[in-house]
Homo-oligomer: A and B are copies of this chain.
Amino acid sequence: MDNNIVVMKFGGTSVGDAQKIKMVARKAIETKASGKDVVVTVSAMGHTTDELIELSKRVSASPSRREMDMLLSTGEQVSIALLAMAIEEQTYKAVSLTGSQAGIFTDDVYSEAKILTIDTKRIFDELKDGKIVIIAGFQGINQHGDITTLGRGGSDTTAVAVASALDARYCEIFTDVSGVYTTDPNIVPGAKKISAVSYDEMLELASSGAKVLHLRAVEFAKKHGVVVHVRSSFNNTEGTWIMDIDKEMEQAVVSGVSYDENQVKISVFGIPDKPGIAARLFDAFAGANINVDMIVQNVGEGGIAAISFTIKNEDLLIAKKVIQDIRDKLEIKEIAIDTDIAKVSIVGAGMKTHPGVAARMFACLGDNGINIEMISTSPIIISCVIRQDKAKEAIKIIHECFELDK
């Protein structure tokens, strides 16, 4: 890395109105003035995307994804133009680039496109010209020259992908929180900001409900070794660095506690305990594009099995259809759907070398009368399904138990 490029990403709330756009302009200028080459990616202003979706519903019940991308991509285009104007108003040079102009090429999957490659020529030319380069997040162009969007969290992915393509020093994600916390500070006021986490920990935190950074962006950062700095757009304090941490510093055993209330537990009773039944069940879900998270299988008396698993709340409707379709084929006797659950997880890269962490978590919960209904473990995460109305209490208990506030 022989350049001095920094990529700064600002989300929709950070560019929510003219005043905030001016604030973002100042942040970009400050960074430029400190001697860096600055690339900024932004999302659409505030609720723009939702408003455009609402507008589309008024002309079509099921708009095509190509046209939806054509429509939604205007949101970021408005933001980049306004931000460039705000920077130029301070007599700094700036240029706004759409995804297409920035050379962000994606596959053909409208609404959920993946970035294939970034042709960085234009960006480098503009940087060489002394300009602050502002790139529309969330969007790209496919081989046909058509506009695609990257789906939820796409602006984070744009920022990380651009940082990777430019071999930038780091990618700063500005958000409305000051970084990644040991748990949700709204639930545990003593939650501490984590100064650095590994990619793997961040992946687990993101997939378990910590919303500061989108899963796909973290995956991209991990794959390409992009150093990410998550920080507040409202102050100048250091946030959380996400990086290849193993090499650099000793691991904390447990880094944080995350939770997810957006899960449903489905229990299927009375499945004949024959090989391949579970596979057929989950095949059907995969075919309907439903992600199954935790799975627990028990063989009961008489060789009759029960399987419980969790899925996302928004997939429940389709999941019910899937079950209806295969119910008779698989000789399923009874199905129970439980929406009153929550998943509580501890994440920490240090766990893999510290035995007994799981036992300690279960003991903490048990000692406080919280029943654990499902468990899943991996080298760096342990998740428990509990009653939803116990979730906040559980988070506080675990946070204290592992002394994360110390």
Contact = CB atoms under 8 A, between A and B. Distances in A.
Contacts of A83: 59
Contacts of A148: none
A22 to B, nearest CB: 6
A195 B216 CA distance: 61
Contacts of A101: 145-146
Interface string A157-198: 000000000000000000000000000000000000000000
Contacts of A98: 70, 147
Interface string A68-89: 1011011001101111111011
Interface residues of A, number: 41
Main secondary structure of the interface of A (DSSP, over half): helix
A59 B21 contact: yes
Q: Which of the listed residues A21, A67, A74 has the most CB atoms from chain B within 10 Å of its own CB?
A: A67
A52 interface: yes
A299 interface: no
Interface string A274-305: 00000000000000000000000000000000
A15 to B, nearest CB: 10
18 contacts: A18-B55, A18-B58, A21-B59, A22-B59, A25-B59, A52-B78, A55-B82, A59-B82, A60-B85, A61-B89, A63-B85, A63-B88, A64-B84, A67-B84, A67-B85, A70-B80, A70-B96, A74-B77
Given A18-B59, A59-B89, 20 more contacts: A55-B82, A56-B81, A56-B82, A59-B82, A59-B86, A60-B86, A60-B89, A61-B89, A64-B85, A67-B81, A67-B82, A67-B96, A70-B80, A71-B77, A74-B77, A74-B78, A98-B147, A100-B100, A101-B145, A101-B146
Interface of A: 18, 21-22, 25, 52, 55-56, 58-64, 66-68, 70-71, 73-74, 77-78, 80-86, 88-89, 95-96, 98, 100-101, 122, 145-147
Q: Which 9 A-B pairs have the closest CB atoms?
A: A18-B58, A71-B81, A74-B74, A70-B81, A60-B85, A63-B85, A60-B89, A59-B86, A67-B84
